[in-house]
Amino acid sequence: MRLSFVAFFLGFLSHTALAQLPNGSIAPDWTATDLNGTEHNLYALLDSGYQVIVDFSATWCGPCWNYHTSGVLETLHELYGPDGTNELRVFFIEGDDSTTQADLEGTGTATAGNWIAGTNYPIIDNGGDIFTAYECTYFPTIYTICPNKILTQSGQGSVQAHETILNSASCTAASMPNDVLLMDYVGDMSTCGDNPASLAVRMMNQGLDTLTSCTIQISKLLPFNQTEVLGSADWTGSLATYEFTTVSLIDVVLDISTIYVFDVISEDDIEGNNSTMGSVNSSEQSTNNLEIRLKTDMAPNELGWTLTDDLDNVVAEVLPGSEMTQTLTEYLWDVTLPSLGCYKLTLYDAGGDGWIAGATSMAGVGYLIVNSMDGEDLVDEEVFFQSTDDFTTVEFQFEAATETAVREEDAPRLLSLHPNPAADAATLTFATSQAGPGWVDVFHVTGKHVIHCPLGQLAPGNHFQTLDLTSLEAGTYLVQLHAGDQIQCLTLMHP
């Protein structure tokens, strides 16, 4: 029997974990000519104060056609385009360069209909390079890009859902002298053992005057939507309009997963964009003998994983195409960690589309499971890692701890949300190792508490809870699961 133990925890996806450019990214610039011969440059439009919606579609894509013919983008163009309030520009970008003009006209062999007839906004053909620059992996991908160049994946939303993004304080053009926008959380998303987490945010000058100073308050989110102020940080510098920077705040030591709230508390002309949130996850224990199970999807040669220590030395790895060659097949590896310390397991997909590669009718067929082992036997409930969304890389942090028994107060072993992004409803899947009360809270990234879902008294084992999202506005949300005295968090995208 092995006497040293290892602690695992499920970390948030890093900014590189999603195949699509994540919300809060700066939109890459592009210049393209539409079917009428008119040239368009994204940054020139944004610098003129316009908001931009980009619909990446393909002529053969059924869901693209359904949304195209819904009239949502035509309505937005009519209301807010050149013949409306003149605040918005809408573009259809055909992202598959193998399609033809005949396909756009509905007479080719790879088309769902006539894409040109009735379309009142510009159509750009052969936009594959732009599609790639935005790291897109599926059709349709629809982005809303604000004048400050920040993008949001607005998806196949309704007119009202798109209007919510367009009318938000963070998406309107700069209009006041002093306006600080907290873009997103960019600090540590996980901790290893007693190591502190460094908290940081991205901050943009959304004002017309040069920004030279501001003060940001840091609070910890407590149960029942209470907060505890931890301190504040002063920033000084020089940011012109729409320039942004990373602001380092404070270091924190935590023993449970925690959501932090960040607020601008210095003088500011617009309060609606002064807050953002971020989460840091903590560790839980298991033995140092690991059993790694990975089931492939329809593109097994694209999948691989690497296990590294805290110095980035490779402990074990399986490269794409080296071992996993069969579709829909489970592969198993036994790994023994060489020493105590911090480790990272990185799952990656060379194609950038995660589990769903080539399996449009079987999305989510792949999985990754890590079991803690004592010889031939499972020590505790399985430590379960799974990503059902598109990904390029997903990182899971863990810690080789001291020679102690497996903790009985382990946090929930499994936590996933599917689908994500989700429009009307999403299913939260989780597991508990002890009985206790449970509930789910959902917060908008601005800190607004939008959903409270009591779960009652939870027995040990696996659980499923459907969340009704119909009342939510489009945006990014943090889902916080309470199970007994443990807390787990993940991010929800609502188009």
Name the token pair of 305.
């994983």
Place of tokens 């508990």: 432
pTM > 0.75: yes or no: no
Mean pLDDT of 299-310: 89
Alpha-carbon torsion 483, 484, 489, 494, what sign? positive
Alpha-carbon span 464 to 335, nearest angstrom: 31
Q: What is the mean pLDDT of the chain?
A: 84
Mean pLDDT of 285-297: 78
Alpha-carbon span 462 to 412, nearest angstrom: 9
Query: Coil, helix or strand for 36?
Result: coil
Per the model's pLDDT, the better-predicted residue between 396 and 130 turns out to be 130
pLDDT tens digit sequence for 131-186: 999 988 889 999 999 999 999 999 999 999 999 999 998 899 999 999 999 999 99
Mean pLDDT of 35-46: 98
Place of tokens 């790895």: 317
Residue 158 pLDDT: 93
CA 393 to chain centre: 12
Kind and range of the H or E element at 385?
strand 383-385
Domains of the chain (ranges; CATH) run 31-133 (3.40.30.10), 180-280 (2.60.40.10)
Whether the predicted pLDDT of 396 surpasses 60? yes
- Which of 46-55, 367-376, 424-433 is least confident? 367-376
Residue 363 pLDDT: 44
Mean pLDDT of 278-295: 78
End-to-end CA distance of the chain: 50
Residue 97 pLDDT: 96
Mean pLDDT of 209-218: 98
Mean pLDDT of 106-130: 97
Residue 470 pLDDT: 86
Residue 212 pLDDT: 98
Q: In this structure, which amino acid lies at residue 273?
A: N
Place of tokens 């005295």: 485
Alpha-carbon span 370 to 286, nearest angstrom: 10
CA 36 to chain centre: 36
Sorting pLDDT into bands at 50, 70 and 90, what band is 270?
A: very high
Name the token pair of 399.
């810690």
Residue 466 pLDDT: 87
Helix 72-80 to helix 159-166 angle (10° resolution) is 40
Name the token pair of 143.
């982005």
